[in-house]
Each structure stands twice: as C-alpha cells, then as structure tokens.
Structure 1
Amino acid sequence: MPGSELFEKFMALHTRDGGFVMPNAWDGLSALMLADAGFEAIATSSAALAATLGVADGRHAVSRETHLEHARLLATVSGLPVNGDFEDGYGDSPEDVAATVQAAVESGLAGIGIEDTSGDPDQPIRDFDDAVARVRRAVEAAKGRIVITGRTDNFIQGRPDLDDTIRRLTAFAEAGADVLYAPYPPDLEALGAIVSAVAPKPVNVLVSPADEVLTVAELQKAGVKRISLGPWLYTHSMGALAEATDALVAGNLAAAATGLSFERIGELLARGKN
C-alpha cells in the first residue's frame, strides 16, 4: 500500500468517533493474535522489544535497523497498520530523525513516534527548542506518507510539570505532528487539559492516567482518540510465565504445561503466512 494511502487509512482511525485501541505486539505470534482479535492497528513497543533482546529500553541499546526489521515483521504477518515506537528517532540531530522517518516510510510503517528523550540518564529530556526542531524535521520528512506522533516523556522521567508538557505538545502540534502523546499524566484532570490544549488534533494515552486505570469508554469520554498498551501485554504474558515457572520449581508439571495449544498457534501462523 503506498505511503499516502496507508497514512489516510491509519489517520482515519484517529479522527473517527471514539477513536481506537492500538495494542503493542512484540513478536509475530502476538501480532497475529491481536489481528485475529479484531484490532485494526497495532504498534511496536520499544520496551518490550528491548526486553526480548535482553537489553534496557531508552538507552539506544536496540539499533534502528533492528527495530525496523521487527516492525516490518509485525506488519507482514498481521497485515495491519503498524505504528513504530521509535524512542527519540534514533539520532542526535534533526537530520538523523528525518532519516529514521524516511526509513520507516520505506519499511511500510503507518506511523512513528518521536520522543523528546535523549538516552542520557543525566539529562533524559531534550531542551525545548531541540525537541521541537526534531519533530518539525520529522514532519517535513514524512510528507504526508506516515503519521507522526510528537511525544514528551516529562512525566515518566520524573518531571511532573504539566505546563511544560502542554507547552511541548502544543509546539509539536504547531510543528505539524499528527498525534500528541504524554505518557502517564498525573490524573484525569491533567489528561483533559492536554486534550483541550492540542485540540482538534488527536491524543494518545498509555493505558490511563497515572492515578488509576480507567475503562476504554471513560478514556473516550475524556476525548482520547488512541489508547496504546506499551509493554503491558508483554509483561502480562511474562507474569503468566513467572507463575508457570514457580509451579515448575515446586514440581507441578501439570500447572506449568498449560497455555495456548499448538493447534491454535498453528492456525494463527498459517493465517499469517497466507
């Protein structure tokens, strides 16, 4: 599907009444399961991908090429639009970000997120002007072929400054970002302020505000257009593995030998191959 056509298809999910839920897959089978469940788009998760490779998220431990290959796999097997959770755009300069966006377009991604993170634990959030310049250059490189999400990680990097968060998101919107995103605003009131500040552009939320997990209907009522899950489906599956491991350590083979049947896995894999 040409980039502009994929852009329109993916963007339409963000602008329709109610928006949509966009779960994050971490391998081919999880992507197939989400597609089979009826989800209309999925995303990568930089945290889940990093964990599958045995490295930490947010420290440039996963290369751009590895993440692109991973995203292409999810798109190929699922047949769904895929949004790439590409951390800070894989580069120190706006031009590096533009190169990542171009590579994402060529890889057939429907969307890509550009964060204001730096990968530097001593200064995890980039200066305002630098962050805005990177989003602006991403939009220029996109040329209407891929949905650009402008994201600030203030809240999850220990900077609980709602005013600065809104300042950044509105600047990203003015720079041309199609979707705005600030993971884990402190509460529903703060989320509402973000939605109002960038309207009519759509807002993504990661599961819910920080203070409580809301339902999809409650988030939609608050004006959220896209709900992502980040690494939480992956950690949920790892929780099941932890329980099975505990059972195995205790000698309970029957409890450890449960889960999705290989017959069901085979059905899903065959569907993806077709």
Structure 2
Amino acid sequence: MKSQNEKAELFKKIHNDTSTFIIPNPWDVASAKILTYFGFKALATSSAAHAFSEGAYDNSVPINDILTHLQKIVSATDLPVSADLGNGFYKNPKKIFETIKLSVTTGIVGASIEDVNGNSAYSIELSTERITAAVEAVKSLDFPFTLTARSDNYIIGNQDLKDTIKRLQAYQNAGADVLFAPGIQTIEEVQSILYEIDKPLNVLIGIKGSLLNYEDLSKLGVKRISLGASLYRNAMTSFVDTIKQISQTKNFSYAQKSISSNELNNLLSL
C-alpha cells in the first residue's frame, strides 16, 4: 500500500496533468475494490450514496460514522481517495477547520465542502470564511491535501449562474485547489464557469436530462469528472427492477444475466 503522502502527491499530479480524468464514487468496500480493478486513477466518496446504502438521507449520517466509512474505503484501495464531507457537519468556520483535521486521520488525501445547509445556501461571506478555515487546516498538514470547494446553487434549485461563478471565484481566492458546481448540465454553463476561474473544475455527470459527455468536457479543459451517487442509483435500479419482476410475475430470469460468484471473487481480490 502507498503511504498517505505518496497518494497525496499522486492525486496532485493527476490534477496537474493535461488530460481529463474520471473520479468515480464508491459507496462501500466492494464498490471501491471493483472501481480500483477497472483502472481508475482516483476515487471520491459520495455522501448521498453512502447515506442511501445505510438506509438514511443524505447529510444525515453522523461524523463519526462518516470517519469509519472513510477508513474502510481508504483501506480497500491503493488509489488516492477524496472525501465528500457534505457541508462539513458544522456551520461555524472554526469547526470546519476541525472537520478537515479530523477527516485527514482516515487516510484521505482530498475533500470537498458544500456551501449549503439543506435547501438553503450560506451567505457568500460565511461560505468563503468556511473555505478559508478549511484552507488553513490544509496548510497545517505535512502533505499536499487537495481541497475542493463546491457551489451547490443548482443542487438546491437556484440556477443562478452569475452567483455560482461569484461564489467559485471567492472560494478560489480563499485558496481552494479545485472548484465544483454540481448540477450544471449544459456546455454553455461549463464554458462560462471555465472562462471565469483559474483552478481545475470538477463536473458532475450522471444527472437525468444532462447531455454532457467526456469528449466535450475534455475539449473544454474540464479537469475532473465525478459521478456522484449515480452509480449507486444505477445499481439500485437493477435491484428494484429485479424485485418487481419477482414479486409481480414470480419470474426468476434475472439469474441468467447475473454476474457469477467467481467473477465477483476476481473483482474483489485486491
């Protein structure tokens, strides 16, 4: 296993490379191992996918449970892991500093912080203070941690591109390493954001109705593409469809298409 410092250096290098990379989002040890098997360069947790897998709502899982989850994911792979820390679990910037310092003990080499609480966005001033506190925590570390700052306007239904860009610029100036506006769905929105920032941009794919694709985003210069909870939702789609078939028709044909136990053993044999 690579050390945390080695993973951190590798994660920074990936962001400095010229190519666009996909950073998929596991929700448990098995999904982390399978994603590693298929050759991705790094992984990022998804607070929503993890919460759903625990039968809970997004951003409702206690911080201690999240830390345990992060430790399991990090231990399951030799890839760099970035953590979805939601809104940092607290409103106060000083507590955001503590969240970063605490989360680093799990072995992660990056993390993202949201600027919303439920369906309400924090003010841009408070949000910037929170990112500033996170940056201070990162600077106190003895390895290059990658901090991602999120503007979640679009996720909460506020499709205000101008305010989103203003927030991303503020977080960039506060020292964030990567910027992220989940929910944007058009090439024009991506272009507008890229024109106004100087840091790597993460774009979320896997949203219904979005026509964004790897080729277009790569040509634009998007650095990182994440999948959020879409992999988990896709897995649950198959599960629910199968259960409906069994309960409604008493038909078990799904078994003919299922991956075998031997295939799973091979995928999980890291």
What band does the TM-score fall into relative to the shorter chain? Answer: over 0.9
Whole-angstrom CA distance in 2 between matches of 1:63 and 1:148: 21
Partner of 1:32: 33
The answer on whether the counterparts of 2:185 and 2:212 sit within 8 Å (CA) in structure 1 is no
Contact kept, 8 Å, 1:23 with 1:228, in 2: the verdict is yes
1:227 is paired with a residue whose SS is strand
Aligned partners of 2:56 and 2:237: how far apart in 1? 19
Contact 2:12 2:144 in 1 (8 A): no
Look up the SS of the partner of 1:157 in the other structure.
Answer: coil
Unpaired runs of at least 5, structure 2: none
- Of 123, 127, 133, the residue aligned with 1:127 is 123
Report the identity percentage: 36
Give the counterpart of 1:231 among 229, 232, 235: 229
Unaligned runs of 5+ in 1: none
Aligned residues: 265
8 Å CA contact retained: 1:33, 1:268:
yes
- The offset of 1:190, in angstroms, is 1.4
Aligned residues of 2:207 and 2:230 also touching (Cα < 8 A):
no
CA gap of 1:208–1:267, structure 2 versus 1, over 3 A, is closer
* Aligned-CA RMSD value: 1.8
Compute the TM-score of the two structures, normalised by the length of structure 2: 0.92
In the TM superposition, 1:42-121 aligns within 5 A as 42-58=43-59, 61-119=60-118, 121=119
**Does 2:254 correspond to 1:218?**
no
Deviates more, 1:81-90 or 1:186-195: 186-195
What residue in structure 2 maps to residue 244 of structure 1?
Answer: 242
Letter in 2 for 1:142: V
The question of whether the paired residues in 2 share the 8 Å contact of 1:25 and 1:42 is answered with: yes
Q: Distance in 1 between matches of 2:263 and 2:215?
A: 31
* Aligned counterparts of 1:36 and 1:78: Cα–Cα separation in 2: 9
TM-score, reference length from structure 1 = 0.91
Q: Any conservation in 2 of the 1:25–1:31 contact (CA below 8 Å)? A: yes
Q: Deviations over 1:7-47 (max 9, x none)?
A: 32112111211221000001111111110000011111111
Question: Structure 2 CA distance, aligned partners of 1:6 and 1:132?
Answer: 28
Q: Look up the SS of the partner of 2:49 in the other structure.
A: helix
